[in-house]
């Protein structure tokens, strides 16, 4: 439960839940409400130094606790929407291979496209999917072909759709169709993941 961002409540798990779910001893003793967790987040978020660091901070939060991520972003939507999506997502897409932390969504490429149906079946939440956002990364936000880094676009859009339309995060699937890139800067970058 602590590693599943859709189920993780962090320090909000009650004493009873901690015992029942085998989490006893895995968390600090004090139980915090969602509001208390958000106060701690706000304090840490205020220490971030630039928009890309804020983007990485929020994505890391989303990767560990989606309930807390969406509550925090919704509580500061006007301030945080430009960090979660445009304009900051453009920088995040360009720096994708350097800031990559954890997989999110599906990466389809010429090596696995023939197994697309099988890959979709294996996706943990495939039965409840309601919304897919896919990109071929060819013309990202006026910055051109960004190869596999284009994943930031469907991730960001889906985050806004969850916030605006109330779709459950498990019903959303971001996909990048990585068919290669002609972006020489990416091809010359030894960290490039595409």
Interatomic CA distance for residues 151 and 193, integer angstroms: 11
Interatomic CA distance for residues 119 and 101, integer angstroms: 21
Interatomic CA distance for residues 85 and 106, integer angstroms: 19
Residue 125, Cα to own-chain centre: how many angstroms? 15
Closest by CA to 166, choosing from 49, 87, 70, is 70
Say whether 131 sits in a helix, a strand or coil: strand
Order of strands across the sheet that contains 131-135: 106-108, 172-177, 131-135
Interatomic CA distance for residues 24 and 18, integer angstroms: 5
Please identify every residue annotated as catalytic. Answer: 85, 157
Tokens representing residue 10 in the block? 């962090």
Taking 3-state DSSP, the helix, strand and coil percentages for the chain, each rounded to the nearest 5, stand at 55, 5, 40
């Amino acid at each position: 439960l602590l590693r599943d961002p859709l189920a993780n409540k962090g320090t909000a798990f009650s004493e009873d839940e901690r015992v029942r779910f085998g989490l006893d001893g895995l968390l600090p003793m004090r139980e915090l409400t969602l509001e208390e967790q958000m106060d701690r987040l706000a304090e840490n978020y205020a220490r971030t130094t630039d928009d890309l660091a804020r983007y990485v901070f929020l994505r890391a939060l989303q990767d560990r606790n989606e309930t807390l991520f969406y509550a925090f972003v919704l509580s500061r939507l006007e301030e945080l929407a430009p960090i979660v999506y445009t304009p900051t997502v453009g920088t995040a897409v360009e720096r994708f291979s350097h800031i990559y932390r954890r997989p999110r969504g599906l990466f389809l490429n010429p090596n696995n496209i023939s197994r697309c149906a099988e890959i979709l079946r294996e996706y943990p939440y495939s039965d409840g999917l309601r919304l897919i956002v896919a990109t071929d990364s060819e013309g990202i936000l006026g910055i051109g072909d960004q190869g596999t880094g284009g994943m930031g676009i469907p991730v960001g859009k889906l985050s806004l759709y969850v916030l605006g339309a109330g779709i459950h995060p498990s019903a959303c699937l971001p996909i990048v169709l990585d068919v290669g890139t002609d972006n020489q800067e990416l091809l010359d970058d030894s960290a490039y993941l595409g």
